[in-house]
Amino acid sequence: MRQIVLDTETTGLSAENGDRIIEIGCVELVARKLTGNNKHFYLNPERNSHEDALKVHGISNEFLKDKPKFAAVADELLDYLQGAEIIIHNAPFDVSFLNRELQLIGREPLVHCVAKVTDSLMMAKEMFPGKRNSLNALCDRLEVDNSGRTLHGALLDAELLADVYINLTRGQNSLMMDVGGGAVQTSETEPLIDLRMFELPVLSASAQELDAHEKVLVTLDKASRGKTIWRLEIAEIEKCS
């Protein structure tokens, strides 16, 4: 499935109170790789940005005056997003603005166009409970270079979020690695390697590693206010013993 990492900049914080989208940035991933097939729009919101919003994105009202309105780019945007998984940091915010823009031109909400919406902020909160999970914080934590991000910009932020998302979801795709310098073939005509032929060593955790692990469990327990499953199970076992 195609994945589109999407970000918006807006005139303010509330679509319900009349704020509008001024910029949309989209980055395409296929098989977890950047394709270069990106989309970027500046839009005339037909209203001025709030002063606080200007400090965040730095896009002047004057600059946007000759830019197209959302209605003029809607078909191109929806065709691009069609059937894809959309990845957004703090998805409810951006989706609410996109849905409002679509409503204003008589179109259906975004969910009718895309396969699914994934909120990378929720993913990050589950992986790093109790920590800051802004885009800048995640870039620092996951060693994604964000040195060029002095102001928020939809396309730049989408590109950074694509790197962050790949790092958040990075894992071992397969145990079928190169053996003896040759790539493992997985076609029907070539047999897969039987991993039972390898004796895998068992590495026990050191005392320092066990201590670090326990500290992480304590942090998770605090973040969930004592409702982590393993703590509850241990308490139940101790009660019965």
Rounded CA-CA distance 234/230 in Å is 6
132 with 125: CB under 8 angstroms?
no
Do β-strands 33-34 and 85-88 pair in parallel, antiparallel, or remain unpaired? Answer: unpaired
- Which residues 6+ apart lie within 8 Å of 90 measured at CB? 119, 121
* Per-residue pLDDT at 202: 77
One domain, residues 140 and 229: no
Single out the catalytic residue among 57, 89, 112, 152: 152
Least confident of 2-6, 110-114, 174-178: 174-178
**Residue that finishes a domain, picked among 148, 168, 188:** 168
Residues 34 and 134 in one domain: yes
Looking at the structure, tell me whether residues 163 and 230 fall in a common domain: no
Same domain flag for 149 and 220: no
What number is the average pLDDT over the span 185-192? 49
- Return the CATH number at 152: 3.30.420.10
Kindly report the pTM of this predicted structure.
0.70
- For the segment 101-106, the average pLDDT, to the nearest whole number, is 98
Give the range of the structural domain holding residue 231, as residue numbers without chain letter. 206-240
Mean pLDDT in residue range 180-202: 55
**Residues 112-168 pLDDT 10s:** 999 999 999 999 999 999 999 999 999 999 999 888 776 688 999 999 999 999 999
- Total number of domains in the chain: 2
Q: Active site includes 152?
A: yes
In a domain? residue 197: no
CB 131: neighbour CB atoms within 10 A?
A: 13
Helices (H) and strands (E) in the chain, counts: 9, 6
State whether 213 and 160 are in the same domain: no
